[in-house]
């Protein structure tokens, strides 16, 4: 602080016309101007005009307040070089996840022919991966909340990489079954990359960035198909498994560059580490750090399941579990019903649709709209339509159910506080895997008995999910991430100059 004060004394004292809510006179409030007095500095003020939306000059960042929160710093630093690097790194994790999932549709038929496997063993090879993901999602969330986002993500990636490569050397079916199940166990931690990613994103960029990460899923899917085309005929499936681990290997190497989440560090009492991380990001982005002292959050127990069921979050958790279940149940069900369509064909369209509506309608209404359109398209399939119309309806349905999935990935990290954010996302991801496990019994078994009953199940499920989206208690559009579960939701970012009891807040991260 002494160094900051010394630097300010060397600079002209300025008067800003665009300010937050600090102590000021009625005349100041009427004119929109406020004079900043610093002890030991001359009283003559030099007026500085700021255009609407213009940033405060670096030399005068946050001159009126002596405290700030991580949210304020993230908003003041903004989106820059650091976030671009983090986007690519998070995208690599999603690309690797997509490739591991796509391997299932390539590996199973190959082993069916090469090892003469019966159909139930081929199906079990796919199911065991989902069982691994379902059983581990909550565990990885708990680890990420208790020991850090970087720690949980790094362990899960290294786990997946190790068993992914090891499965290439499986001598018999029982070995590859166990090893692919362990791969699924590791993949269950990949969604935690979104937790870490969201905690470094400023509010206005958060939804768009998380949605655009989904593009890497499409890239991973296409890359795996191309890799299989060139590798399988000459080198075989074992080399395909090894080469498919390349994105994971890149991520494992580059993730050591990742800093720990500053929000997590503050919550766990590592204030100095949090400040060092924020300064590093500010330096990379060429942006100012707020002056003053970083507010230390109240220390809380992290990663406790019962915290997801406090009176404030009970309904949110239950409704989100059903929403995530419905997303995966309907999406993978439609995939099984439309295997003739290209696997990644709907991803780009769904990203564009969701990008356009999520910051206009809000997160809840976006999810509800996506579910309703999917249900409507499913109901239209009751009508005997031509092949072109059938393809169009299936394409639209897949685009919107994918959009609903992406909106859920935006909403879930935003709605939970830092102490349970990773656990909340992990449990939701686990419920999605339950939906993916159940859906083959509807899309394949029930379909043999009745096409109409099958479509009715998917349509009805999504209509209920649309209602669940509307009944979510909290809308997160335009809100900052909640730091502490002991505050009312969104108190950190409700408006300019919001004050906590007994603590002077910084304006640097307030909403406009």
Which tens digit of pLDDT belongs to each residue from 52-74?
445 444 444 444 457 788 888 88
Examine the pLDDT at 476 and tell me if it is beyond 80.
Answer: yes
Crossing angle of the two packed helices 119-147 and 81-114, in degrees rounded to 10: 160
Least confident of 40-49, 150-159, 242-251: 40-49
Distance CA 272, CA 506 (A): 19
Given a cut of 80, whether residue 480 has pLDDT beyond it is no
Tell the burial category of 212 from Cβ atoms under 10 Å away from its Cβ (0-12, 13-18, 19+).
Answer: middle
Contacts (Cβ under 8 Å, ≥6 apart) of 223: 95, 99
Q: What is the pLDDT of residues 307-349, one digit of tens each?
A: 889 888 899 999 999 999 999 999 888 877 765 333 444 555 5
Q: Which residues of 327-347 are buried (b: 16+ CB within 10 A; e: fewer)?
A: bbbbbbbbbebbeeeebbebb
**Low-confidence winner among 19-23, 82-86, 399-403 (lowest mean pLDDT):** 19-23
- Whether the CB-CB separation of 260 and 422 falls below 8 Å is answered with no
pLDDT in tens, 127-155: 888 889 988 989 999 999 889 889 999 99
**Domains 64-299 and 301-475 alike in fold:** yes
Q: Are 68 and 480 in contact (CB under 8 A)?
A: no
Give the separation between CA 176 and CA 161, rounded to whole angstroms.
15
In CATH, the architecture of 301-475 is Up-down Bundle (1.20)
Q: Is the pTM of this model over 0.85?
A: no
Could you report the per-residue pLDDT of 163-210, keeping only the tens digit for each? 999 999 999 999 999 999 999 999 999 888 888 999 999 888 888 888
What's the CA angle centered on 158, arms 156 and 161, to 5 degrees?
105
Residue that wins the pLDDT comparison between 16 and 457 = 457
> DSSP code of 67?
E
Helix axes 203-235, 387-415, angle to 10 degrees: 130
Tens digits of per-residue pLDDT, 44-56? 434 444 454 454 4
Q: Does CATH number 3.40.50.970 belong to domain 64-299?
A: no
Buried b or exposed e, range 293-302, using 16+ CB within 10 angstroms: ebbebeebeb
Residue 369: predicted pLDDT: 93
Phi, psi values for residue 118, rounded to 5°:
-70, 165
Backbone angles phi and psi of 270, in degrees to 5: -90, 70
Name the residue among 21, 3, 4, 10 with its Cα closest to residue 508: 21
* For the chain, domain boundaries: 64-299, 301-475
Percent of the chain with pLDDT over 70: 77
Tokens of residue 452, six digits: 């109409």
β-pair type (46-48, 14-16) = parallel
Helices (H), 347-450: 347-361, 363-380, 387-415, 421-440, 447-449
In DSSP notation, 27-55 reads: HHHHHT-EE---TTS----EEE---TTPP
Can you tell me the distance from the alpha carbon of 456 to that of 179, in angstroms, rounded to the nearest whole number? Answer: 37
Structure tokens at 316: 């949110």
């Amino acid at each position: 602080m002494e160094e900051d004060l010394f630097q300010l004394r060397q600079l002209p004292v300025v008067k800003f016309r665009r300010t937050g809510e600090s102590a000021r006179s009625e005349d100041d409030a009427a004119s929109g101007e406020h004079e900043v007095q610093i002890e030991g500095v001359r009283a003559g003020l030099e007026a500085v005009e700021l255009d609407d939306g213009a940033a405060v000059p670096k030399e005068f960042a946050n001159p009126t307040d002596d405290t700030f929160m991580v949210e304020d710093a993230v908003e003041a630093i903004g989106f820059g070089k650091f976030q671009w690097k983090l986007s690519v790194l998070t995208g690599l994790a999603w690309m690797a996840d997509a490739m591991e999932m796509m391997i299932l549709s390539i590996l199973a038929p190959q082993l069916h022919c090469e090892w003469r496997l019966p159909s139930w063993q081929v199906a079990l090879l796919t199911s065991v991966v989902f069982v691994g993901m379902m059983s581990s999602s909550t565990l990885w969330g708990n680890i990420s909340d208790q020991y850090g986002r970087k720690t949980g993500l790094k362990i899960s990636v290294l786990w997946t990489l190790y068993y992914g490569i090891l499965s290439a050397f499986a001598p018999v079916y029982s070995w590859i079954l166990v090893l692919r199940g362990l791969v699924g166990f590791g993949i269950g931690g990949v969604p935690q990359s979104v937790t870490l990613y969201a905690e470094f994103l400023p509010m206005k960029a958060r939804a768009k960035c998380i949605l655009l990460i989904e593009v890497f899923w499409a890239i991973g899917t296409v890359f795996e198909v191309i890799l299989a085309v060139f590798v399988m005929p000459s080198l075989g499936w074992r080399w395909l498994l090894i080469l498919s681990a390349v994105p994971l290997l890149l991520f494992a190497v580059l993730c050591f560059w990742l800093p720990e989440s500053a929000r997590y560090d503050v919550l766990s009492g590592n204030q100095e580490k949090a400040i060092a991380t924020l300064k590093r990001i500010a330096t990379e982005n060429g942006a100012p750090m707020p002056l003053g002292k970083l507010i230390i959050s109240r220390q809380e127990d992290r990663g406790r399941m019962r915290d997801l069921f406090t009176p404030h979050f009970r309904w949110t958790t239950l409704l989100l579990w059903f929403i995530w279940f419905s997303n995966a149940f309907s999406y993978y069900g439609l995939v099984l019903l439309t295997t003739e369509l290209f696997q990644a064909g709907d991803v780009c369209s769904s990203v564009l649709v969701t990008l356009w509506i999520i910051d206009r309608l809000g997160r809840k209404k976006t999810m509800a709209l996506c579910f309703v359109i999917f249900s409507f398209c499913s109901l239209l399939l009751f009508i005997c339509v031509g092949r072109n119309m059938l393809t169009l309806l299936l394409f639209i349905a897949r685009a919107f159910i994918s959009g609903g999935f992406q909106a859920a990935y935006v909403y879930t990290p935003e709605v939970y506080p830092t102490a349970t954010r990773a656990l909340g996302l992990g449990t939701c991801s686990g419920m999605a895997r339950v939906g993916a496990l159940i859906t083959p019994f509807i899309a394949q078994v029930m379909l043999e008995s009745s096409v109409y009953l099958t479509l009715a199940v998917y349509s009805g499920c999504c209509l209920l999910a649309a209602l669940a989206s509307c009944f979510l208690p909290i809308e997160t559009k335009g809100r900052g991430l909640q730091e502490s579960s002991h505050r009312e939701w969104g108190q950190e970012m409700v408006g300019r100059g919001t004050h906590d009891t007994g603590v002077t807040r910084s304006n640097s991260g307030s909403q406009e």
